[in-house]
């Protein structure tokens, strides 16, 4: 079989709504659209009316791609595009998920705020001798104000007719062995005491409730810092806990605020020894589960204000963490640093969101 003989080929874009088959010719680039949020875009190749293979093409944040289908000397079809990785699957594989359809006119909005309880801006627990770092504290208080203004703008503080409900969760790290009123001790199935990684600050647990910015500020002001200990913390567990929240809004949003990464199988940390094994919920798998529930993810990365000119080892870990926060965001516009996170900018970003958002496989 040669590439010249393959005259009856078409592709079907997977994970994208209402995309009809598109005829392609061997050796000629064809347009492959990319949904916002997709790190890999997926299509099924049909040859002579029969499924031939499924391909995933790395997007590298391009809005569209122009790959080429070619046959090698053995007649095996390949997809090529310079500088992009390509994965091949069986003809009946379905490695992509359906896009998230954004309801920008929603009148009921659920917002879950996930707070990194190990970040330095939080106030110290009474039992700690170490005082909070003032620059980090100032940055955190400013961010809380921005979140409070966003909550008001999204719901009860406006005349928009929207109803916003909020849930607040904190995450820590069981490796620290620390506990507080928010992260109480428990007993596992072997009778050993342990500290919970997740705290539900809004009650009852897993419920959303109406609140204004003042309520949110008061709630955020009550949480105290927990030692993160081994760098990788329970962000994956927190996102997984969000999957179990009582979502009921027409638009659903998670906001993650912190400087700690979570466990990732597909994108491990750049060095060993920063994850002692206490956190085993995969952040990318949890983000995919939220996507399937129609939940958009916004991230606010809080750089460590007390670290100036870090050594290369620390700089590498910080860069890896920020990349994780960017990857978890539903679209690249949804990933913020804390300095850029203002209520006006975030609200405008949400109002200008694409109609459909994709998300790639966790693995």
Tell me: the pLDDT tens digits for 210-228? Answer: 999 999 999 998 888 876 5
H or E element, residue 300:
strand 295-301
Q: Is residue 114 part of a domain?
A: yes
Q: Is residue 139 part of a domain?
A: yes
Buried b (16+ CB within 10 A) or exposed e, 32-42: bebbbbbbbbb
Q: Is residue 301 part of a domain?
A: yes
Residues 74 and 108 in one domain: no
Percent of the chain residues past pLDDT 70, beyond the cut: 81
Q: Which of 42-51, 189-198, 212-221, 322-331 has the lowest mean pLDDT?
A: 189-198
Q: Which two tokens stand for residue 116?
A: 């990194």
Residues 84 and 109 in one domain: no
- pLDDT-derived band at 44 (thresholds 50, 70, 90) equals very high
Residues 57 and 112 in one domain: no
Quote the pLDDT of residue 106: 94
| pLDDT(19) > 60 | yes
3-state helix, strand and coil shares in percent for the chain, rounded to the nearest 5: 25, 25, 50
Q: Is residue 62 part of a domain?
A: yes
Which domain-ending residue is among 95, 116, 136? 95
Domains of the chain: total: 2
Q: Is residue 256 part of a domain?
A: yes
Average pLDDT over residues 319-344: 95
Q: Which of 51-65, 98-112, 221-235 has the lowest mean pLDDT?
A: 221-235
Which domain-ending residue is among 40, 67, 95? 95
Q: Is residue 363 part of a domain?
A: no
Quote the pLDDT of residue 27: 92
Q: Which two tokens stand for residue 167?
A: 């849930």
Q: Tell me the C-alpha to C-alpha distance, in Å, between residue 276 and each of 53, 234, 238, 279, 339.
A: 40, 12, 18, 8, 31
| pLDDT(316) > 90 | no
Residues 44 and 129 in one domain: no
| pLDDT(172) > 90 | no
Residues 63 and 136 in one domain: no
Residues 50 and 183 in one domain: no
Please return the burial class of 353, using the count of CB atoms within 10 Å of its CB with bins 0-12, 13-18 and 19+.
Answer: buried
Buried b (16+ CB within 10 A) or exposed e, 86-99: eeeeeeebebbbeb
The mean pLDDT of the chain is 84
Q: Is residue 197 part of a domain?
A: yes
Residues 171 and 280 in one domain: yes
Quote the pLDDT of residue 68: 96
| pLDDT(300) > 50 | yes
Residues 233 and 273 in one domain: yes
Residues 88 and 106 in one domain: no
Residues 152 and 229 in one domain: yes
Which pLDDT tens digit goes with each residue over 101-151? 999 999 999 999 999 988 878 877 654 545 555 788 889 999 999 999 999
Which pLDDT tens digit goes with each residue over 274-295? 665 555 688 999 999 999 999 9
Q: Is residue 25 part of a domain?
A: yes
- Which of 102, 103, 94 minimizes the C-alpha distance to 15? 94
Q: The domain that contains 278 carries what CATH number?
A: 3.40.50.410
Residues spanned by the domain of 25: 3-95
Residues 231 and 271 in one domain: yes
| pLDDT(324) > 80 | yes
Which domain-ending residue is among 95, 118, 149? 95
pTM: 0.82
Quote the pLDDT of residue 126: 55
Quote the pLDDT of residue 168: 95
Quote the pLDDT of residue 275: 60
Quote the pLDDT of residue 133: 58
Residues 72 and 125 in one domain: no
- pLDDT-derived band at 186 (thresholds 50, 70, 90) equals very low
């Amino acid at each position: 079989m040669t590439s010249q003989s393959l005259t009856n080929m078409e592709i079907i874009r997977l994970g994208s709504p209402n995309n009809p088959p598109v005829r392609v010719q061997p050796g000629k680039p064809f347009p492959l659209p990319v949904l916002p949020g997709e790190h890999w875009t997926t299509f099924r190749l049909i040859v002579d009316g029969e499924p031939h293979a499924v391909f995933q093409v790395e997007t590298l944040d391009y809005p569209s791609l122009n790959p080429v289908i070619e046959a090698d000397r053995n007649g095996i079809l390949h997809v090529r595009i310079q500088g992009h990785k390509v994965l091949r699957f069986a003809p009946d594989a379905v490695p992509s998920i359906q896009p998230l359809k954004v309801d920008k006119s929603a009148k009921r909005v659920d917002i879950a705020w996930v707070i990194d309880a190990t970040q330095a801006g939080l106030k110290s627990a009474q039992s700690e001798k170490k005082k909070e770092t003032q620059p980090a504290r100032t940055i955190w208080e400013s961010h809380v104000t921005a979140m409070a203004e966003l909550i008001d703008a999204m719901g009860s503080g406006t005349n928009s007719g929207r109803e916003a409900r909020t849930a607040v969760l904190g995450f820590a790290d069981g490796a620290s062995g620390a506990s507080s009123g928010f992260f109480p001790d428990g007993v596992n199935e072997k009778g050993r005491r342990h500290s919970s990684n997740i705290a539900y600050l809004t009650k009852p647990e897993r419920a959303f409730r109406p609140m204004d910015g003042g309520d949110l500020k008061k709630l955020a002001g009550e949480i105290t810092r927990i030692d993160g200990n081994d760098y990788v913390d329970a962000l994956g567990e927190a996102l997984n806990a969000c999957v179990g929240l009582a979502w009921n809004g027409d638009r659903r949003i998670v906001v993650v605020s912190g400087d700690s990464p979570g466990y990732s199988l597909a994108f491990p940390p750049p060095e060993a020894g920063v994850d002692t094994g206490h956190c085993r919920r995969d952040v990318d798998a949890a983000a995919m589960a939220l996507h399937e529930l129609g939940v958009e993810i916004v991230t606010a990365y809080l750089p460590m204000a007390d670290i100036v000119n870090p050594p290369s080892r620390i700089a590498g870990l910080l860069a890896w963490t920020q990349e994780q926060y960017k990857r978890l965001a539903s679209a690249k516009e949804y990933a913020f640093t804390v300095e850029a996170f203002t209520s006006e900018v975030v609200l405008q970003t949400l109002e200008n969101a694409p109609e459909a958002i994709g998300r790639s496989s966790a693995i």
